[in-house]
Structures are given as C-alpha cells and as structure tokens.
Amino acid sequence: MSKVEFSPSLMTMDLDKFKEQITFLNDHVGSYHIDIMDGHFVPNITLSPWFIEEVRKISSLPMSAHLMVTDPTFWVDQLIAIKCEWICMHAEVLNGLAFRLIDKIHDAGLKAGVVLNPETPVSAIGPYIDLIDKVTIMTVDPGFAGQRFLGSTLDKIVELRALRDKYDYSYVIEMDGSSGRKTFERIDQAGPDIYVIGRSGLFGLDEDIAISWQTMIKDYFDKTGKELK
C-alpha cells in the first residue's frame, strides 16, 4: 500500500451518536474495524455480525471483523453469510484450522486476515503467510480498550515488511492498539499500512466527531510530518 489508512474501531465509538459518527466517518476513512469477542478468548463480549449489518444500513465501506474468539469456525460461517469483506482470525486458535478457514473465506470471495497477540511471533504464521490478505499486529494485550502500548511489538511490523518485500507477499500490515498522539511517531517509523484507531486516538478527543477527526489529523501531522485527508 502506498498510502496509510485509518480504520476506526467501532467498539470505542459513542453509540449514543451512532448515526452521526458513522455518517461523518464515511467520507474520511477506508474501512471500519469491528471487534467480536466471545467472553472466552478474552473476558469481554462486544460486537457481532448483527452490528455489522446495522452499520451497513448507513455505510457502504468495507468491514473488517477482528475475531477474538475460541471457535473461529462458528463466527467465520456467520461472517461469510453476511459477506463481511475482511475476516481476521487470531493465530493462537488456528492450529489445525488455518488452511481450511482461509480457503473457505477466499472461496466466498472475501479476504482473510490473521491477528498476532503481543507474545506471538511472526514465525507462527509461516506455514500460511503466503495465503493471507492481512496481518494485524496487536500492540496491546487484546480484549479491553485503553491497554498499555507495547512498543516492542512494532518490531513485528518491520519484520513483516521485510518478508513482504523479499518474497513478494500480498498482505497488508495493520496495527491495533493505543494509536494516538503519544504513539504516532513510533508507529510511523515501523510503517504499517493500516492504523486501527480507537478512543485514545479519535473517539475520546472531543464529543464532536468532526473536531475529534481534525484533532487526530493534526496530531498525526505534528508527530510524523505526514498529511491525511
């Protein structure tokens, strides 16, 4: 990817202003990040395929589902049924399932992603790295908003860029966790293609989503010298 993309994490939006915030963001972002948690892989229970269908009533942007679940097959089948554009599964629960689920997602004309927890090395996805469309690096412990940023995880983004260049892989690289004014500079140096942006970087900056967006744009420029639309 030649241009950085910001993907808002809708788990962290103000649900009292659901329509207002989505309508505004439709003109400014390239996709939405949907966290689906089952209460087992992580303690929380959050969004669902139903939520994706609700967003689609007012948005035509691609949806990226991040499955923090112990039974990915159950959720993959549901997301295929509603044609969720990106289905991203945790590497930690894919042993024995990876090839089957990646093929199933691709056969449905959708894109398959894999997510790595902070403790999980890039080597864990080596057997199928050439098949996936996106790799998401968790820069926080998963399952809660507002977790401590783990700077050492950025090394995996650098590693993934090097592998992609060397072997001509086609995946995009996404980072997820605590991106904002305090971390933009370090993240930019690692070079992900997609920033998942949540409360600290966007939704928590102001009650007015337009002001929050402009503040985020300024923060990003101040820390990186790069402009976003």
Distance CA 210, CA 78 (A): 33
| Binding-site residue set | 33, 35, 66, 143-146, 176-178
Amino acid 42: pLDDT: 85
| Binding-site residue set for a divalent metal cation | 33, 35, 66, 176
Non-local (6+) Cβ contacts of 79 within 8 A are 49, 52, 65, 87, 110
Specify the residue for token string 């087992």.
Answer: 40
Specify the residue for token string 């966007």.
Answer: 202
| Binding-site residue set for substrate | 66, 143-146, 176-178
Which of these, 49, 45, 56, lies nearest to 19 by C-alpha position? 56
| Phi, psi of 44, deg, nearest 5 | -80, 160
Amino acid 210: pLDDT: 97
What is the CATH class of 5-224? alpha beta
Specify the residue for token string 């971390």.
Answer: 183
Catalytic residue among 14, 16, 27, 35: 35
| Residue pLDDT tens, the chain, 229 long | 457 999 999 999 999 999 999 999 999 999 999 999 988 888 788 889 999 999 999 999 999 999 999 999 999 999 999 999 999 999 999 999 999 999 999 999 999 999 999 999 999 999 999 999 999 999 999 866 667 899 999 999 999 999 999 999 999 999 999 899 999 999 999 999 999 999 999 999 999 999 999 999 999 999 999 887 5
193: amino acid identity, one letter: D
176 is catalytic: yes
Amino acid 228: pLDDT: 77
Amino acid 1: pLDDT: 44
Catalytic residue among 38, 133, 176, 193: 176
Distance CA 211, CA 172 (A): 29
Q: Could you tell me the two tokens for 89? A: 């599964």
Distance CA 5, CA 31 (A): 8
